[in-house]
C-alpha cells in the first residue's frame, strides 16, 4: 500500500513537473532559411508580399483603419480579435525584431513567446520564403504609419483561454518549417504551389479540419488538402477531387475569377469576395496564372468543358430558343401552369437573371446548373444567397460591384426550401437531400438580426 502511494506520489510529482515544464519550458523560434539569390529588395516587395498573404482580410476591422486589427473572428470555442499589426509600439507590433516577426508567421509565437491562436494561419505561413517574410516585415514596420488601436481581449472560456495548451496542439498540427518546392521557380506549377500552399493560405478555408481543428494537409501531396471546408456557415468549396468547384475550368477561367471575382461559370461572394478584393486581384498576371495552372493540375480538375462555352453568334434569346437540353429547361420554357411549385418559384424569382437553362450570363449572372454553391453538401450558402443576396467585389479589371438582391421579403421559409430543393436537382444538378423549411427559418432569424 505504502509502495503504491509512493509510486502514485512520484507519478503526481513527475506529472506536475512535466506539466510545468510543458507550460514554462521556453519556446524556440525557427531559424531563418536561405534567402534566394535573385530576391527583390524588401522595400520594393513588401506591399506585394502583403497582398499575397492577404493580411488585410483578418487584420482590418470593418470600417477600421487598415491593419489596426480588432476584427472579430468567431471560432468554435469563442471570439478571437485580430491583432493590430501596424507599427504602433504599444498597441501594435512596433519594436518587434525581424526574428520575432518571423516567429509569429511561422511558429505562431508573439514577441514575448506566447502561443498565438491558429486563427492566425501560421501552419500555412510556415512555408514562407525568407524574401516574403522580409518583405512583410518591411511593409508593416517601415511602410505603414502606426495606428493606436487597443483591440478587445479575446472572449474565450476556460480552458481555451490558456494559451499554453496550444503547445500540444502545435505538436499535432505543425508541418515542417521551410518550403520544399521552388518558391522562386520559373516553373508556374512550382511557383503556383508555393503561392497556394504558403502565403495564399488557401488551405485554411478550402481544406477540412479534424475535431482538433487541425487542417487536413498542407500540400498537394496530402489527400485532404483543398478538398473543401466550411467557413462562417458557407461552404468553402473543394478545389480538387470529385466535388471540385473548378472541375472543367480552364486556367484562364480560374485566373479570371481570382482577378475579377467573376467568370463565365460563377461569381464570388461572401468571404472569398474579401480575398479577391484585398489579395488576388493584385497578383501579377504571371502569379495569377501560376496559381491557376497549379489548381487546374490537381486531381479532378482540367479543362474538359472549355469548348462548351465561348461567345455564341447570336444573343441570349437565340440560345434559349434552341431545343431545351434538359427536362428542367423544357418545363420552365413551357410556362405550363401545372409545373411543380419549385419550378414556378424559379420562374417568378430567379429566371430573370439566371434564365430557364440555368446558365446565367458570362461574368454577370452565375450558372446555377453545375454550381458548387447550389449543390454543396450543406445548403446553408444557397439558402443564405436566396434570402440575403450577395455582392461582387469591385476590382480594377471589373469594377462593377454587381449585386443580387435578397428574397427574404418575398419568399416564405417553405417557399425558399421548395425553391432550394428544386435548384439542387434542376438541369444537371445532382445534390442529394431536400432542404427543410426549418433550416431556412434558422438562417432567416440568424441573419435577420
Partner 1 sequence: MSHPTYLNTTRRGFLGGTAAASALALGDRAQAQDAPPLEEYTPEYLSAAEWAFVMAATARIIPSDGAGPGAIETRVPVFIDLQLAGDFGNAADLYMEGPFKPDAPDTLGPQSPLTPAEIYRGAIERIDAACTDEYGNVFADLDPTQQDEVLSALEEGPSTSGNTPDMAEDAGGGAPNTDGSTAFGLTPELKEFFSLLVQNTKEGYFADPMYGGNADMAAWSYIGFPGARGSYAEWVGREEDYPLGPVSISGERA
Partner 2 sequence: MARTDTKRDVVIVGLGWTGAIAGIELAKEGLDILALERGPDRSTVPDFKYPDVIDELRFGIRYGYMQRPKKSTLTIRRSLDEEAMPYRRLGSFLPGDGVGGAGIHWNGQTWRPQAQEYRLRTYVEETFGADAIPEDMTIQDWGVTAEELEPYYDRFEYMAGISGQAGVVNGETIEGGNPFEPNRSRDYPLPPLAQQPDSLHFADVARQMGYHPFPRPAANASAPHVNEYGMQLGPCNYCGFCARYGCLNYSKSSPQTCVLDALKRYENFNYRVNSEVLRVNLAEDGQTATGVTYWDAEAEEEVTQPADIVILAAYSIHNVHLMLLSGIGEPYNPQTGTGTTGKNYSYQMNGGTTMFFNDRQFNPFVAAGSSGMSINDFGMEQIDYAAEGFIGGSYMTCGHSNGQPIRGIAVPEGTPNWGADWKQAVGEHYGHSTSLGSHGSNMSYRDCYLDLDPTYTDPHGRPLLRLTFDWKDNDIRMTQFMRQRIEEIVEAMEPDSWQSSYKEDGATYDVRPYQTTHNVGGAIMGESPQTSSINRFQQAWGQHNVFVLGASSFPQNIQYNPTGAVGALAYWTTDAIVNQYLPNPGPLV
Q: Assess 285 for contact with partner 2 (CB under 8 A).
A: no
Structural contact between residues 388 and 408, judged by C-beta atoms closer than 8 angstroms:
yes
Binders in 88-147 for partner 1, by CB under 8 A: 119
Work out which of 302, 406, 434, 441 binds partner 1, going by CB under 8 A. 406
201: left (phi over 0), alpha (psi -120 to 50) or beta: left
Work out which of 169, 388, 437, 439 binds partner 1, going by CB under 8 A. 388
Cell of 447: 441573419
Q: How far is the CB of 263 from partner 1 (least distance, A)?
A: 21
Q: Which residues contact 18 (CB under 8 A, 6 or more apart)?
A: none
**CA within 13 Å, CB half, 248:** 15
Q: Which residues contact 173 (CB under 8 A, 6 or more apart)?
A: 118, 123, 212, 213, 214, 215
Work out which of 98, 156, 189, 231 binds partner 1, going by CB under 8 A. 231
Binding mask 315-354 for partner 2 (x = CB under 8 A): xxxx--x---------------------------x-xxx-
Peptide bond into 159 cis (omega under 30): yes
Residue spans of alpha helices (H) in 33-110: 42-53, 56-59, 98-102
Q: Assess 226 for contact with partner 1 (CB under 8 A).
A: no
Structural contact between residues 374 and 234, judged by C-beta atoms closer than 8 angstroms:
no
Q: Assess 359 for contact with partner 1 (CB under 8 A).
A: no
DSSP state of 103: I
Residue 45 vs 398, nearer CB to partner 2: 398
Torsion of CA 163, 164, 169, 172, to 10 degrees: 150
Q: Residue 399: which of partner 1, partner 2, none does it interact with, CB under 5 to 8 A by kind?
A: partner 2
Q: How far is the CB of 303 from partner 1 (least distance, A)?
A: 28
Residue 207 vs 263, nearer CB to partner 2: 263
Binding site for partner 1 (CB under 8 A): 57-58, 62-63, 71-76, 119, 204-205, 208-211, 213, 216, 224, 229-233, 270-271, 273-274, 316-317, 320-321, 332-337, 344, 347-349, 351-352, 355-356, 378, 387-391, 405-406, 408-412, 415, 444, 447-449
Amino acid at each position: 500500500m505504502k509502495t503504491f502511494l509512493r509510486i502514485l506520489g512520484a507519478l503526481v510529482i513527475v506529472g506536475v513537473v512535466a506539466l510545468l515544464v510543458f507550460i514554462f519550458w521556453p519556446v524556440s523560434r525557427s531559424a531563418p532559411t536561405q534567402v534566394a539569390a535573385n530576391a527583390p529588395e524588401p522595400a520594393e516587395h513588401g506591399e506585394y508580399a502583403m497582398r499575397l498573404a492577404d493580411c488585410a482580410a483578418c487584420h482590418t476591422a470593418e470600417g477600421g483603419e487598415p491593419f489596426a486589427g480588432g476584427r472579430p473572428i468567431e471560432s468554435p470555442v469563442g471570439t478571437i480579435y485580430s491583432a493590430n499589426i501596424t507599427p504602433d509600439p504599444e498597441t501594435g507590433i512596433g519594436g518587434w525584431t525581424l526574428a520575432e516577426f518571423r516567429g509569429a508567421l511561422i511558429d505562431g509565437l508573439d514577441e514575448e513567446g506566447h502561443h498565438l491562436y491558429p486563427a492566425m494561419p501560421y501552419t500555412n505561413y510556415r512555408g514562407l520564403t525568407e524574401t516574403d517574410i522580409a518583405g512583410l516585415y518591411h511593409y508593416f514596420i517601415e511602410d505603414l504609419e502606426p495606428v493606436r488601436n487597443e483591440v478587445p481581449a479575446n472572449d474565450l472560456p476556460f480552458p481555451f483561454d490558456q494559451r499554453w495548451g496550444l503547445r500540444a496542439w502545435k505538436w499535432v498540427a505543425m508541418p515542417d518549417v521551410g518550403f520544399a518546392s521552388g518558391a522562386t521557380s520559373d516553373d508556374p506549377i512550382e511557383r503556383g504551389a508555393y503561392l497556394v500552399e504558403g502565403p495564399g493560405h488557401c488551405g485554411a478555408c478550402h481544406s477540412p479540419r479534424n475535431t482538433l481543428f487541425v487542417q487536413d494537409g498542407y500540400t498537394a501531396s496530402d489527400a485532404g488538402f483543398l478538398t473543401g471546408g466550411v467557413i462562417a456557415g458557407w461552404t468553402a468549396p473543394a478545389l480538387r477531387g470529385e466535388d471540385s468547384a473548378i472541375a472543367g475550368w480552364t486556367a484562364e477561367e480560374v485566373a479570371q475569377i481570382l482577378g475579377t471575382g467573376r467568370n463565365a461559370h460563377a461569381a464570388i461572394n461572401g468571404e472569398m469576395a474579401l480575398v479577391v478584393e484585398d489579395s488576388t486581384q493584385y497578383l501579377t498576371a504571371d502569379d495569377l496564372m501560376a496559381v491557376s495552372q497549379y489548381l487546374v493540375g490537381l486531381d479532378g480538375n482540367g479543362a474538359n468543358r472549355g469548348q462548351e462555352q465561348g461567345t455564341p453568334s447570336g444573343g441570349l434569346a437565340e440560345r434559349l430558343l434552341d431545343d431545351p437540353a434538359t427536362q428542367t429547361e423544357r418545363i420552365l420554357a413551357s410556362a405550363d401552369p401545372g409545373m411543380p411549385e419549385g419550378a414556378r418559384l424559379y420562374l417568378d424569382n430567379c429566371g430573370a437573371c439566371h434564365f430557364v437553362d440555368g446558365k446565367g450570363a458570362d461574368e454577370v449572372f452565375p450558372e446555377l446548373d453545375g454550381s458548387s454553391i447550389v449543390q454543396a453538401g450543406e445548403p446553408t450558402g444557397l439558402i443564405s444567397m436566396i434570402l440575403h443576396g450577395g455582392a461582387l467585389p469591385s476590382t480594377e479589371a471589373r469594377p462593377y460591384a454587381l449585386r443580387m438582391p435578397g428574397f427574404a421579403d418575398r419568399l416564405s421559409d417553405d417557399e425558399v426550401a421548395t425553391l432550394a430543393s428544386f435548384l439542387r436537382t434542376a438541369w444537371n444538378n445532382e445534390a442529394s437531400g431536400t432542404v427543410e423549411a426549418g433550416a431556412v427559418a434558422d438562417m432567416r432569424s440568424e441573419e435577420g438580426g
